[in-house]
Amino acid sequence: MRYTAYCFSTAVVEVTVTIIVLAVVVEVVVVVIVLVLLIVVVVVAAEVVLVVVVVAAAVPLVVVLVVVIVVVVVLIVEMSVVYSYGLNKQDIGRHRVGLHDRVGFFFTT
């Protein structure tokens, strides 16, 4: 009878210890998963912030690029207008004829 009680109490202790160990392992695994998810969320949020910062930094570059493109287009239009009025390259090179003589209401030089 004592042996049976001893075996039963030992089995209860073993099961209890096993349940406690499993609970601790599950708890550790859950904590690790939550920490990994938090790190992922923080990294993704940091990447979003980084993308916003990069976009904010790129906006002035885009503005400068648009201004350069507009200036180049205006120069091309001016040159095509000058050439379309039959002026030769020597007149343009010597600045004898300005754009304001031909198309003053469009461009000022």
What's the domain count of the chain? 1
- Domain annotation covers residue 109: no
Range(s) of the domain holding residue 86: 2-103
Residue 59 is assigned to a structural domain of this protein: yes
Q: Residue 107: what residue type?
A: F
In a domain, 24, yes or no: yes
Structural domain includes residue 21? yes
Contact 67, 59 (CB under 8 A): no
CB–CB of 99/82 below 8 Å? Answer: yes
pLDDT exceeds 70 at position 9: no
Asked whether residue 23 is assigned to any structural domain, the reply reads: yes
Q: Name the residue with higher pLDDT: 103 or 78.
A: 78
pLDDT at 87 over 80: no
Q: At a CB cut-off of 8 Å and minimum separation 6, what does 92 contact?
A: 82
What are the pLDDT digits (tens) for 18-35?
Answer: 877 778 788 878 888 887
Q: What is the pLDDT of residue 105?
A: 46
- What's the pLDDT tens digit per position in 35-83? 788 777 777 777 777 777 666 767 777 777 788 888 888 877 777 766 6
Provide CB contacts within 8 A for 89, sequence distance 6+: none
In a domain, residue 108? The reply is no
